[in-house]
Amino acid sequence: MPVPCGSGCGRNAFMRRPKTGDVLCKECFFLAFETEIHNTIQQEELFRSGEKVAIAASGGKDSTVLAHVMNVLNKRYNYELDLVLLSIDEGITGYRDDSLKTVAQNRDDYGMPLRVLSYQELYGWTMDRIVAEIGRSNNCTFCGVFRRQALDRGARLMEVDCVATGHNADDIAETVIMNILRGDTARLRRCCDIKTGSKVSDTIPRVKPLKYSYEKEIVMYAHFKKLVYFSTECVFAPNAYRGHARAFLKDLEKVRPSAIMDIIHAGEQLQIKGTVKKPVRGVCGRCGFVSSQQPCKACVLLEGLNRGLPKLGIGKKSKGERMVALQEQQMREKAHLVKNDF
């Protein structure tokens, strides 16, 4: 027997929302999903009229839905935003080169200008080459650090007012779990912020309009809207630490669907004791981009690759300093031997 839509529109329901449990028809689900994102944007004051906003576009479901919804809301509620697409090419053969075709399709569908920056262009390395050097145990560290800075570099080149990323509720809950397991107090509180950076601190702000949107609902929205997106997992991702947090969260969600929002709200309310030393976010003295250490992690990792010490930025800072000191000592000894030969 057909179940009527819970909104009272008179149509039959076709789904039960994973987030709220409401039974809705397709049209009411679309409206509810979009309205929740609009309410998040308004309540958190993510944008101002006339701003130029770069949407971080990877071609995946999150960024594709974000681009579509932002395009819809910008017209429906007259945000008066100048929307553009910013993509990062990490140089992963068989993955990123294909997903960028989807981004190009988004550009054509929504009429948004697109800028693509590559790791090769910015750092002189591709992820394929980095993995060949470092192996598959720590490759996500390099990719994550370089990608975050690449977005900052791209945003500065495009002269945008802020960057909108496709982080959803599941992503943020996973990050909370990861930071708890690692004991990372610095990132634990910051990872729940819906807006980071500010023009006051000379950093381009980043916002997360999908912060309270469930991954399942994003997939359903993309599917029933027939949006074109790239769904293949990164070839280097299976060994990522995040995968364990994701599997744990999925098990929790089966028992308690509200677990995702519960974890996010818990992370938002966490307070760090005043006696705990917290890193101060500033600007890297080498590259000039935001960092909580000197030099920034991206510069340390890049230096390691260029020195032939790919593990330089992995682990504790003191370990990296010892590696550099040992390499410099070996170079001095080699130079001394060459000198004695003459």
333 and 193 within one domain: no
C-alpha span between 201 and 297 (Å, rounded): 19
C-alpha span between 100 and 88 (Å, rounded): 9
CA Rg, the chain, in Å? 22
Inside any domain, residue 61: yes
Inside any domain, residue 57: yes
Inside any domain, residue 56: yes
Q: Would you say residue 83 has pLDDT above 70?
A: yes
pTM: 0.88
Domain's final residue, options 258, 278, 298: 278
Q: If pLDDT is split at 50, 70 and 90, which confidence band does 96 have?
A: confident
310 and 243 within one domain: no
291 and 163 within one domain: no
Inside any domain, residue 15: no
Query: Residue 335: what pLDDT?
Result: 59
255 and 114 within one domain: yes
pLDDT digits (tens, 9 = 90+) for 179-233: 998 888 778 878 899 998 876 566 899 999 999 999 999 999 999 999 999 888 8
Query: Residue 252: what pLDDT?
Result: 94
User: Domain range holding 252?
Assistant: 50-278
Inside any domain, residue 69: yes
The mean pLDDT value for 50-76 works out to: 97
Inside any domain, residue 7: no
C-alpha span between 130 and 282 (Å, rounded): 27
Report whether 193 belongs to an annotated binding site: no
Average pLDDT over the chain reads 88
Query: Residue 188: what pLDDT?
Result: 82
194 and 70 within one domain: yes
The mean pLDDT value for 242-270 works out to: 92
Q: What is the CATH number of the domain that holds 127?
A: 3.40.50.620
Of residues 258 and 276, the one with the higher pLDDT is 258
268 and 191 within one domain: yes
210 and 170 within one domain: yes
334 and 258 within one domain: no
Domain's final residue, options 229, 246, 278: 278
Tally the domains of the chain: 2
Report whether 166 belongs to an annotated binding site: yes
Inside any domain, residue 116: yes
319 and 218 within one domain: no
Query: Residue 234: what pLDDT?
Result: 83
Domain's final residue, options 259, 278, 297: 278
Q: What is the DSSP letter of 45?
A: T
pLDDT digits (tens, 9 = 90+) for 285-338: 889 888 888 889 999 999 999 988 888 877 655 454 555 555 555 555 565 555
Query: Residue 320: what pLDDT?
Result: 47
Using a 10 angstrom Cβ sphere, with 0-12 exposed, 13-18 middle and 19 or more buried, the burial of residue 242 is middle
262 and 326 within one domain: no
| SS3 at position 31 | helix
Report whether 88 belongs to an annotated binding site: yes
Q: Find all residues with CB under 8 Å of 288, minimum gap 6, and list them.
A: none
Inside any domain, residue 96: yes
Query: Residue 280: what pLDDT?
Result: 76
Alpha-carbon separation of residue 142 from 81, 125, 129, 311, 322 (angstroms):
33, 11, 11, 10, 20
158 and 58 within one domain: yes
253 and 285 within one domain: no
